[in-house]
Structures are given as C-alpha cells and as structure tokens.
Structure 1
Amino acid sequence: MRQLAIIPHPEAKITLFSWNGKYLIKLEKGSLEQTYKVSELDLTSEDDIHLLLDEEFVQAAVQRFKAMQQDLQAAFDRHGI
C-alpha cells in the first residue's frame, strides 16, 4: 500500500492510498475510521479523488462518525462495560 496524500481537514484526518488497483480514502476521527475503496478504473486521475472529497461528502462522514460513536457507546452501556 502506498500513501499518496494527506488531505488537510479540520474535522477528520483524511489519507489517500493506492493499493491493488484501487484508491483507498481513509478518514479518521479519534479511535474511529472509515475507509472507502474506489477502483482506479472509475476515475481519470488522482485529482478526481479530490473532487469526490467535497464538503458535502466530508460532512456526511463526520455525521457518520457521530453515529458510530453513539452505536459503540450504546453497546458498552447495554453490557455494563
């Protein structure tokens, strides 16, 4: 796996990788992460990844991080952990 870029954003760490004919878009916030795999054949260049990572996409991912954290906390609470 080859790291291509770190894309600055104030709400999540975004790292772009290339691996096995795919671009991997990895978003991290605290202990949570989301990874999206996009075939290199679906894009004309690496620049297209930056187009995909518009503010609407990133804000949806940030909201998903909140839901993930709530789900994890609910599981802890259910089991008294």
Structure 2
Amino acid sequence: MRVVTDIPHPEIKITLFAWNGKYLLKLELGPFEQTYKVSEMDVDGGDGEIKRWIDEAFLQSCIELFLAMRTNWNETRRRNEY
C-alpha cells in the first residue's frame, strides 16, 4: 500500500492510499476510522478527482458518522460493563 497524499483538515486526518488497483480514502478522528474504496478504473481524473469529491457536505456527513460511531461504542461499553 502506498500513500498518495495527505489531505489537510483541521479536525480529521485524511490520507489517500493506492493499493491493488484501488484508491483508499481513510479518515481518522480520535480512535475511529472510516475507509472508502474506489477502483482506479472508476476515477478518470486520478487522485485529483478524488480530492474534489472531499467537499464540505461529504466531510460534514463523515463527522456526523464519527459522532454516531462514538455513541455506538459508548453505548455498548455501558451495556456490557460489569
């Protein structure tokens, strides 16, 4: 797996990888990760096209998903603590 680029963002660590004919877009916030995979064949503009897809609406949805992930994790811990 090779790092194509790091994409700066004030809250989220965003890394674009190339691996096995796919681009992997990895977003990290605290202990949580989201990974989006897309075939290199489906991206006409290379990594520049993927960077354009990372718009404000996408990032806001990702942040909301991170918050939901944290809630899910905290709830299962609370339910299963002894």
Tell me whether the two structures share a fold, i.e. TM-score over 0.5.
Answer: yes
Q: Report the equivalent of 1:58.
A: 59
Instruction: Report what 1:35 is aligned to.
Output: 35
Q: CA deviation at 1:54?
A: 0.7
Gaps of 5+ in 2: none
Matches for 1:17-36 after TM superposition, within 5 Å: 17-36=17-36
- Please state how far the C-alpha of 1:18 moved relative to its aligned partner: 0.1
Q: Which runs of 4+ in 1 moved over 3 A?
A: none
What amino acid is the match of 1:77? Answer: R
Amino acid of the residue matched to residue 27 of structure 2?
L
- Number of residues paired by the alignment? 81
Identity rate, percent: 49
TM-score (normalizing by structure 1): 0.96
CA RMSD of the aligned region, Å? 0.9
- In structure 1, the gaps of 5 or more residues are none
Tell me which amino acid in the other structure corresponds to 1:71: N
One-letter code aligned to 2:4 = L
